[in-house]
Amino acid sequence: MRKILTVTAMAAVALMALSGCSSRAPETAGDGSAAVGFPADSVIGVALPSKTSENWVLAGGLFEDGLKEAGFKGDVQYAGASTTVKDQQDQMSAMVTNGAKVIIVGAQDGGQLGTQVKDAHDAGAIVIAYDRLILNTDDVDYYVAYDNFKVGELQGQALLDGLAAKKPEGPYNIELFSGNSADANAPVFFNGAMSVLQPKIDDGTLVVASGQTDIKQTATADWKPENAQSRMDSLLTSTYGSQEVDGVLSPNDTLARAIITSVKAAGKSIPVVTGQDSEVESVKSIMAGEQYSTINKDTRVLVKQAIDMVKMLQTGGTPVTNDDTYDNGNKIVPAFLLPPVIVTKDNAAEAYANDPKLSPLTK
């Protein structure tokens, strides 16, 4: 679906963004008029999904503080715990009614917000997809995220590295987990990982003992840890009676811990388990030698990048983008991608050196 930028190139453009430079010509606002900016104390809507991970909770607080500091009136909302997207749809409609000039959306379900983003555009608002792409609409202006295909590649490589460290030669029994099927990021993570793992499955180095390799089989409904734990329980019962599972591809930290809980309960050795998000409990687990890896996608940096986009739009400028390959089904959405970092016990201290919450955990 998209090509991968090098970390070096992405970091260079990131520095441009932080300095407020732009090499792109001004685009149009949602109503088709020239981008002319808006008052500095305007309402900025932030629609976030359910609080399925601690990073979403962190993002909400950062948006509230950052938008206030920048002089905007922030309207930060979370979708409820429901498996439907109605809460977020209603919240976005209310933001349009309240005159939001920009709506930043971490989509609960990126395929079911077309009406709301069109209404936002019709009202003259600009829509920024945050972390998760909004699908099948012309009415999304920008996308800001970490490079999610690269996240998957790093997870796949971490699984291979962890397995090689665990025992020198295969074959290795592994199982595959992916995220919520309604999340546009889930297949990107999975496809990135499989670009690394599939050749090793094909040559017999890796054996998916359950045979469940299709993303529909590996999906975890609503990103809920209890769903991952239940599936792992079933896999251990059906497939791993007298044998061990050597590794598990987990798309995030919450699910990784649930998978490890399942394996422990079954009385089996903890496999190599990947993750993502640098959640506190998973960093502790990594340092204790249980979870093998996570991905550092500093939410502070991502929220700042989104707010910097808003600041540029407020002055009538055009935000910097560094990727033009994200196709949402209707259009190529101009994107700014940040580089993710793989973290294991070996490099955790370095990776979190500037993070006051996580660095003490690596001592």
Asked whether residue 204 falls in the same domain as residue 237, the answer is yes
Asked whether residue 184 falls in the same domain as residue 239, the answer is yes
Asked whether residue 317 falls in the same domain as residue 258, the answer is no
Residue 1 resides in a domain = no
Residue 352 resides in a domain = no
If you search the block for the tokens 């400028």, which residue do you land on? 317
Closest CA to 256 of 179, 355, 168: 179
Counting the structural domains of the chain, the total is 2
Q: Which amino acid is at 68?
A: K
Question: Which residues form the domain of 321?
Answer: 7-140+298-339
Which secondary-structure segment (H or E) carries 183?
Answer: none
CA-CA distance, 305 to 312, in Å (whole number)?
11
- Cβ-based neighbours of 261, under 8 Å, separated by 6 or more: 229
Closest CA to 197 of 239, 165, 163: 163
Q: Which two tokens stand for residue 109?
A: 């379900």
108 HSE (CA, 13 A, CB side): 25
Asked whether residue 72 falls in the same domain as residue 191, the answer is no
CA-CA distance, 92 to 47, in Å (whole number)?
7
Contact predicate 10/338, CB 8 Å: yes
Helices H, strands E: what count in the chain?
Answer: 12, 12
C-beta atoms surrounding 8 within 10 Å: 8
Residue 184 resides in a domain = yes
Residue 214 resides in a domain = yes
Q: What's the pLDDT score for residue 247? A: 98
Q: What's the pLDDT score for residue 36? A: 64
Asked whether residue 198 falls in the same domain as residue 76, the answer is no
Asked whether residue 233 falls in the same domain as residue 223, the answer is yes
CATH of the domain at 18: 3.40.50.2300
Alpha helix (H) residue ranges in 124-174 = 148-166
Burial of 214 (0-12, 13-18, 19+ CB in 10 A): exposed
Asked whether residue 206 falls in the same domain as residue 263, the answer is yes
Question: Cis peptide leading into 171, omega within 30 of 0?
Answer: yes
Asked whether residue 167 falls in the same domain as residue 132, the answer is no
Contact predicate 180/222, CB 8 Å: yes
Q: What's the pLDDT score for residue 80? A: 81
Asked whether residue 195 falls in the same domain as residue 237, the answer is yes
CA-CA distance, 25 to 147, in Å (whole number)?
24
pLDDT tens digit sequence for 141-160? 999 999 999 999 999 999 99
Q: What is the DSSP letter of 31?
A: T
Asked whether residue 111 falls in the same domain as residue 156, the answer is no
Residue 355 resides in a domain = no
Largest CA distance in the chain: 67
Asked whether residue 181 falls in the same domain as residue 243, the answer is yes
Contact predicate 163/248, CB 8 Å: no
Residue 185 resides in a domain = yes
Asked whether residue 128 falls in the same domain as residue 212, the answer is no
pLDDT tens digit sequence for 277-304? 999 999 999 999 999 999 999 999 999 9
Question: Helices 253-265 & 225-239, crossing angle to 10 degrees?
Answer: 40
Return per-residue pLDDT of the chain as tens, 363 residues: 343 333 333 333 343 333 333 333 334 444 433 346 999 999 999 999 988 788 899 999 999 999 999 999 999 999 986 667 899 999 999 999 999 999 999 999 999 999 999 999 999 999 999 999 999 999 999 999 999 999 999 999 999 999 999 998 999 999 999 999 989 999 999 999 999 999 999 999 999 999 999 999 999 999 999 999 999 999 999 999 989 999 999 999 999 999 999 999 999 999 999 999 999 999 999 999 999 999 999 999 999 999 999 999 999 999 999 999 999 999 999 999 999 999 999 999 999 999 999 999 999
Contact predicate 155/293, CB 8 Å: yes
- Cβ-based neighbours of 292, under 8 Å, separated by 6 or more: 158, 159, 162, 272, 273, 274, 286, 344
Last residue within a domain, chosen from 296, 322, 353: 296
Contact predicate 168/360, CB 8 Å: no
Residue 100 resides in a domain = yes
List Cα–Cα distances, 191 to 19, 184, 197, 273, 275, in angstroms.
33, 12, 10, 17, 15
CA-CA distance, 245 to 36, in Å (whole number)?
58
Q: What's the pLDDT score for residue 55? A: 87
Q: What's the pLDDT score for residue 187? A: 95
Residue 363 resides in a domain = no
Q: Which amino acid is at 178?
A: S
